């Protein structure tokens, strides 16, 4: 929600990839709310799809009730709390359905979301879907995977390179729907004009490096449709062994698309904190 001369442009694609029968990823956004969401579901049959769609729809519906111009202007709502509540509510809905329907037993989903509020953005995640931010020429990973290999990296047992090759890299340590409570990582930061946020599933990051992701965004930063298609194409060219999803959200001035680029700038990569 922006009333201060900023415009949030959002674009995304979800793709089944080259080897899966179903697409269990779900993406959704609402430009008016300044909200973008991505979920990567898991579970037998179609349960993963059910979980991921339920997550994005439920959270979007919950937040639409509180992200109105009047309520934002009133300053009475703590939006980080509102996001945690919305994710918690979605978690319980998925968990209840998984307990009620045998075919949905054990279903769960990752989640990443960004919510833009005037000059700041709230971002939240559960699982191994990621959020990156390109600011000027620097790509920064804003999330730390809730996964076994990330824990091993944090504890010094595995390098980033070894983690990329690990056969257990898809084992996640947190997900929505698998128990009554969920622990959400949430943060807030100021935005700058020209920032581009990328939400993506592991179908992208397992195959496409941070360097490649940064290069694609840098070179097409005024065309989010092109960025989305190029990233998905790259993952498919490298095998596309999982569903691939990307959502890009850019902060522009209300009266202009894009920004003046420094074409000569070189990309820097920040892998994020490994705390
Ligand atoms: Mn996946």
Number of domains the chain contains: 1
CA of 39 to the centre of ligand 1 (A): 9
CA of 203 to the centre of ligand 1 (A): 5
Segments forming the whole domain that contains residue 98? 6-145+175-270
CA of 192 to the centre of ligand 1 (A): 30
What does the pLDDT read at residue 275? Answer: 43
Domain assignment present for residue 165? The answer is no
CA of 242 to the centre of ligand 1 (A): 6
Nearest in space to 109 (alpha carbons), one of 180, 16, 42: 42
CA of 201 to the centre of ligand 1 (A): 6
- What's the rounded mean pLDDT across residues 115-132? 96
CA of 139 to the centre of ligand 1 (A): 22
What does the pLDDT read at residue 271? Answer: 74
Is pLDDT above 90 for 269? no
Percent of residues, the chain, with pLDDT higher than 90: 78
CA of 274 to the centre of ligand 1 (A): 22
Interval 35-90: pLDDT, tens: 999 999 999 778 999 999 999 999 999 999 999 888 888 889 999 999 999 999 99
- What's the rounded mean pLDDT across residues 122-136? 97
Domain assignment present for residue 159? The answer is no
CA of 24 to the centre of ligand 1 (A): 8
Is pLDDT above 80 for 132? yes
Is pLDDT above 70 for 257? no
CA of 185 to the centre of ligand 1 (A): 19
Is pLDDT above 90 for 134? yes
CA of 129 to the centre of ligand 1 (A): 8
Which stretches does DSSP call E strand in the chain? 6-15, 25-30, 35-42, 108-109, 111-117, 120-126, 130-135, 138-141, 185-190, 196-200, 244-253, 268-270
Domain assignment present for residue 275? The answer is no
CA of 41 to the centre of ligand 1 (A): 7
> What CATH code is carried by the domain that includes residue 105?
3.60.40.10
Integer Cα distance of 58 and 160 in angstroms: 34
**pTM, full prediction:** 0.92
- What's the rounded mean pLDDT across residues 209-228? 96
Domain assignment present for residue 151? The answer is no
- DSSP at 9: E
CA of 161 to the centre of ligand 1 (A): 19
């Amino acid at each position: 929600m922006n009333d201060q001369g900023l415009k949030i442009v959002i674009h995304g694609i979800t793709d089944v990839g080259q080897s899966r029968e179903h697409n269990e990823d779900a993406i959704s956004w609402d430009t008016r709310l300044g909200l973008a969401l991505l979920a990567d579901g898991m579970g037998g049959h179609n349960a993963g799809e059910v979980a991921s769609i339920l997550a994005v729809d439920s959270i979007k519906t919950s937040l639409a009730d509180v992200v109105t111009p009047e309520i934002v202007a009133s300053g009475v709502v703590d939006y980080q709390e509102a996001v945690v509540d919305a994710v918690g509510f979605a978690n319980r809905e998925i968990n209840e359905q998984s307990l009620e329907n045998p075919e949905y037993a054990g279903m769960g989903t990752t989640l990443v979301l960004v919510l833009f509020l005037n000059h700041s953005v709230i971002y939240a995640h559960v699982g191994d879907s990621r959020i990156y931010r390109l600011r000027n020429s620097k790509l920064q990973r804003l999330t730390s995977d809730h996964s076994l290999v990330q824990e091993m990296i944090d504890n010094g047992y595995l390098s980033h390179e070894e983690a990329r090759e690990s056969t257990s890299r898809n084992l996640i340590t947190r997900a929505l729907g698998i128990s009554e409570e969920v622990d959400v990582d949430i943060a807030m930061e100021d935005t700058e004009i020209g920032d581009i946020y990328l939400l993506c599933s592991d179908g992208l990051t397992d195959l496409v490096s941070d360097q490649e992701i940064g290069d694609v965004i840098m070179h097409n930063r005024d065309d989010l449709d092109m960025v989305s298609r190029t990233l998905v194409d790259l993952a498919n060219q490298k095998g596309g062994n999982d569903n691939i999803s990307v959502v890009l959200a850019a902060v522009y001035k209300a009266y202009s698309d894009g920004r003046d680029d420094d074409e000569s700038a070189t990309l820097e990569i920040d892998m994020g904190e490994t705390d």
